[in-house]
Amino acid sequence: MKRVLITGKNSYIGESFRKYVEANHREEIQIDVISVRGNAWKSRDFSVYDAVFHVAGKAHADVSHVSEAVKQEYYAVNRDLAVAVAQKYRSERNGFSQFIYMSSIIVYGHTHETIQETTPTNPSNFYGDSKLQAEISLRQMSNINFQILILRPPMIYGPMSKGNFPILVKMAKSFPIFPKIDNQRSMLFVDNLSEFICQIIAFRLHTNIYFPQNKEYVNTSCLVKTIRDSLNRRTLLLSGFTGIINCFVKQHNGFGIYADKAFGSVIYAKSLSSNSAVRLNGYQVVEFDESVRRSVL
């Protein structure tokens, strides 16, 4: 049995992973969870764990209205704390170990191109940069026994999720008429992410950057319709708004940022989301329509 420590108590992703393991992989994986606020975690024995899944972090900032002090908090939590936890784990653990760090697609900034293996990182704000700086520092710590696994998922959604998805659900519930937009987005259902993590632990994957995503790209208009279908509500999608919305998306202001989050296109190439051990179809435990239904009801 593998022992896994989740560092970051009450994290949505951490709690979702714990519940998923207890429901589906109880015989293979034992989960412990600790808080890394304050200093009490520093006295915890990390040597007994085969993997540490670090989910503590700060996210979802209104990046246009923050002080320099708040910006520094993002680096302190997203970068410095992650490095400190990894250093403690490496110093105490003997033998093969995995440190799994939750990064984000945000490290690529507001790109509208298909993200390939050669796509350069280009964070557009301090949140994305804090994640990227953590990645750089952590990967330098890797050695033959201490493996650093960086996860760069797209938008994660699921029951009681946070961030942009519940905003979209609220909007979908309110508007039976919605523009028909031609866009594509990579997304990831939280149970599919949890199964991906279980597999990278089971297969003892090594230091690398990983890009889990649902096997299908998502169109915002179709997503809104799927949300409403799950609520047994009819939806009318109207054509003719693509040009107008694209103009909004290209604006370099707060409204443009929100329009881009809702209607812009950002996808990972499917080839990024498979490797010799964990293939794209291998961790898709919940199909898209069912994942939306579970996330809304």
pLDDT tens profile 19-45: 999 999 999 999 999 999 999 999 999
CA dihedral 262, 267, 270, 273 (to 10 degrees): -90
What is the total residue count of the chain? 297
Identify the pLDDT of residue 277.
Answer: 65
Q: What mean pLDDT, rounded, does the chain reach?
A: 91
- Ordered by start, the domain boundaries in the chain are 2-157+187-215+269-287
Report, as an integer, the average pLDDT of 61-74: 81
With CA atoms as reference, report the closest residue to 166 among 184, 174, 244: 174
pLDDT over 80 (residue 114): yes
Q: Longest C-alpha distance within the chain, in Å?
A: 61
Who contacts 130 (Cβ-Cβ below 8 Å, separation ≥6)? Answer: 58, 74, 75, 77, 78, 79
Neighbours of 89 (CB within 10 A): 22
pLDDT over 80 (residue 163): yes
H-type helices in the chain, by residue range?
12-24, 68-75, 82-92, 126-139, 164-174, 190-202, 220-230, 242-249, 254-263, 288-296
Neighbours of 38 (CB within 10 A): 7
Percent of the chain with pLDDT over 70: 89
Q: How far is it, in rounded angstroms, from Cα 196 to Cα 192? A: 6
Per-residue tokens: 50 = 């085969």
pLDDT over 80 (residue 258): no
Query: Is the Cβ–Cβ distance between 5 and 53 less than 8 Å?
Result: yes
- Output 14 or 182, whichever has higher pLDDT: 14
With CA atoms as reference, report the closest residue to 78 among 125, 133, 121: 133
Global pTM exceeds 0.85 = yes
pLDDT over 60 (residue 265): yes
Q: Exposed, middle or buried: residue 30 (CB in 10 Å: 0-12, 13-18, 19+)?
A: middle
CATH superfamily of 2-157+187-215+269-287: NAD(P)-binding Rossmann-like Domain (3.40.50.720)
**Using one digit for the tens of pLDDT, what is the confidence trace for 177-218?**
999 988 999 999 999 999 999 999 999 999 999 999 999 999
Identify the pLDDT of residue 263.
Answer: 76
The confidence band for 275, taking pLDDT boundaries of 50, 70 and 90, is low
